[in-house]
């Protein structure tokens, strides 16, 4: 391979790879900013985020020492900040609302809403819901289902050790 072919190949690869690198860098910047925002919420409650996960437009974090779960979601021009003190809740359930679709390709479920629902200890308190996915607001689901199952288990395991 002569020098001209090598240079053409190197330039072509650079053109193809640079958008991927920029996307990855922008995603990392956005995640760092979102983590800082959820850490700020935690700091207001004298907590520190020990575990966290990102997915699209939200971040969820957990202070396993103090038993607080924090949630930050960016929707359009709004920011939603939520938290729960697990001492005030008896369990965490998954809300998975959808519909069954039958067509020539087979049967499958279309998910319309995924949320973590915190059930309070007291009947006078309201349930709190962290919305992971809503088909009216998000065009496509990614790994929200796996994350919601992971977080439900982790939170319920923590609740068992508290009670």
Please, are residues 139 and 56 in contact by the beta-carbon 8 Å criterion?
no
pLDDT exceeds 80 at position 131: yes
CA angle 149, 84, 52 (to 5 degrees): 50
Q: Is the confidence at residue 5, as pLDDT, over 80? A: no
- Residues 18-30: tens digit of each pLDDT: 676 666 666 677 7
Question: Range of 42's domain?
Answer: 3-162
Residue 5, token pair as written in the block:
């072919």
Confidence grade of residue 135 (pLDDT, cut at 50, 70, 90) = confident
Q: Using CA atoms, how far apart are residues 158 and 118, in angstroms rounded to an integer?
A: 13
CA distance 79 to 73: 6
Judged by DSSP in three states, 138 sits in coil
The closest alpha carbon to 39, from 3, 90, 9, 83, belongs to 83
Model pLDDT for residues 64-113, shown as the tens digit of each residue: 899 999 999 987 788 889 999 999 999 999 999 988 888 887 888 888 99
Are 67 and 87 a contacting pair, CB within 8 Å?
yes
Report the run of H or E that residue 150 belongs to, with start and end: helix 144-162
Structure confidence at residue 149 (pLDDT): 95
Residue range 40-65: average pLDDT?
90
The counts of H helices and E strands in the chain are 2, 7
> How many domains does the chain divide into?
1
Range of weakest confidence among 49-58, 61-70, 103-112, 113-122: 103-112
């Amino acid at each position: 391979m002569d020098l001209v072919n090598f240079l053409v190949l190197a330039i072509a690869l650079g053109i193809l790879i640079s958008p991927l690198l920029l996307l990855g860098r922008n995603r990392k910047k956005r995640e760092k900013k979102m983590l800082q925002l959820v850490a700020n919420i935690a700091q207001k409650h004298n907590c520190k985020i020990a575990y966290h996960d990102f997915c699209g437009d939200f971040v969820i974090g957990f202070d396993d020492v103090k038993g607080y779960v924090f949630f930050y979601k960016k929707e359009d021009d709004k920011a939603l900040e939520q938290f729960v003190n697990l001492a005030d809740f008896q369990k965490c359930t998954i809300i998975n609302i959808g519909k069954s679709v039958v067509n020539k390709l087979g049967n499958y479920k279309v998910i319309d809403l995924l949320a973590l629902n915190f059930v309070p200890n007291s009947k006078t308190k309201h349930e709190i819901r962290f919305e992971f996915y809503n088909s009216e607001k998000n065009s496509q689901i990614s790994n929200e289902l796996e994350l919601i199952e992971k977080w439900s288990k982790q939170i319920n395991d923590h609740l068992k050790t508290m009670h």
